[in-house]
Amino acid sequence: MTAATPMADRVGHRPPGHYRWPGVLRSEWTKFTSVRSTTWSLLATVVLTIAIGILATAVEAQRWNQLSFVERLTFDPVRQSLTGILFSQLAIGVLGVLVVSAEYGTGTIRSTLAAVPNRPLVLGAKAAVFGVVALVVSEALSFAAFGIGQAILSGSTPTTSLSNPGALRAVVGAGLYLTLLGLFALGLAAIIRHTAGAISAFVGVLLVLPLIVQALPQSIIDDVGKFLPANIGVTMVGLRTPIGIDSFSPWAGLGLLALYAAAALVLGGWTMVRRDA
């Protein structure tokens, strides 16, 4: 008489501790899509990107005749349409934090790590699921905001099209910028493991650090300012770098932001291995 087949084998599942990449991805996808924070964060990203873009372009179209010669000369129709990106980056960052910190807050991370002891694998699956969703949503919103903005500006102010030099780069880059910021926030959450703390750190890097740098001598501002994510974003979403901002070229800045995100994720994976859940 043959021995009874283990339950895990009969139902086609692997026992705890033996999950592979596809299974962990499915698990993280289920968790990501089944919580309300995902819906609300993505909705906030949509509203901020589109609504603020509409408001910014409508106001600019209305006041075009009152603008000075210098203001007209430096007007950037792409950046104007993508104004909402500079606000929705907060929403996508919060979502990136919650992907990791929510499980630590509720204690369910213990069940996750009991089923999948390979902690870098867990973090990698979370980053992959979040990254794909963030990229698709961010790019869709970037193109939508650009199209709507140019339609509003048309007839009142100068406009541009995706075929013009720099326009497609700015629109695509805006979506990549949001995605990388979200992954950076996810890495911070893996390091800090506390929702309020990780969000505070993300906001500090994005909004508070530039204010601190501005209080320093001009020579330091010029040397340090170009490394700030906020300046990278301002440069990325426009046809040209605004006057008064010293920054890397758009793609070099985006590469630097990718390094920030990768460093945060690597350090987050290391701390997950080193510390108890």
Q: Tokens 């909705």 map to which residue?
A: 43
pLDDT confidence bin for 6, thresholds 50/70/90: very low
Q: Considering only CA atoms, give the Rg of the chain.
A: 22
Please tell me whether residue 25 adopts helix, strand or coil conformation: helix
Q: Which tokens in the block code for residue 203?
A: 């906001």
Least confident of 6-15, 39-48, 72-81, 254-263: 6-15
**Given a cut of 90, is residue 256 above it in pLDDT?**
yes
Residue 181 parent element (H or E): helix 167-192
pLDDT at position 277 is: 64
Please state whether 276 falls in left (phi above 0), alpha (psi between -120 and 50) or beta: beta
Average pLDDT over residues 94-108: 93
**Given a cut of 70, is residue 232 above it in pLDDT?**
yes
pLDDT confidence bin for 195, thresholds 50/70/90: very high
Q: Which tokens in the block code for residue 225?
A: 């300012």
Q: Which tokens in the block code for residue 272?
A: 């997950």
Q: What is the pLDDT of residues 180-190, one digit of tens each?
A: 999 999 999 99
Among residues 193, 72, 178, 89, which one has the least CA distance to residue 135? 178
**Given a cut of 50, is residue 220 above it in pLDDT?**
yes
- As a whole number of angstroms, the distance between CA 174 and CA 261 comes to 16
Distances (CA, A) of 120 to 13, 85, 116, 273: 21, 30, 10, 7
- As a whole number of angstroms, the distance between CA 90 and CA 44 comes to 9
Average pLDDT over residues 202-216: 91
Q: What is the 3-state secondary structure (H, E, C) of 119-164?
A: HHHHHHHHHHHHHHHHHHHHHHHHHHHHHHHHHHHCCCCCCCCCCC
Q: Which tokens in the block code for residue 146?
A: 């650009």
Average pLDDT over residues 74-98: 94
Alpha helices in 193-217 (DSSP H): 195-203, 209-214
pLDDT confidence bin for 240, thresholds 50/70/90: confident
pLDDT at position 10 is: 36
pLDDT confidence bin for 205, thresholds 50/70/90: very high
Do residues 140 and 46 lie in contact, with contact meaning Cβ atoms separated by under 8 Å? no
- As a whole number of angstroms, the distance between CA 183 and CA 240 comes to 26
Q: What is the pLDDT of residues 126-166, one digit of tens each?
A: 999 999 999 999 999 999 999 999 999 998 888 999 999 99
| pTM, rounded to two decimals | 0.89
**Given a cut of 50, is residue 9 above it in pLDDT?**
no
Backbone φ and ψ for 75, nearest 5 degrees, come out as -65, 135
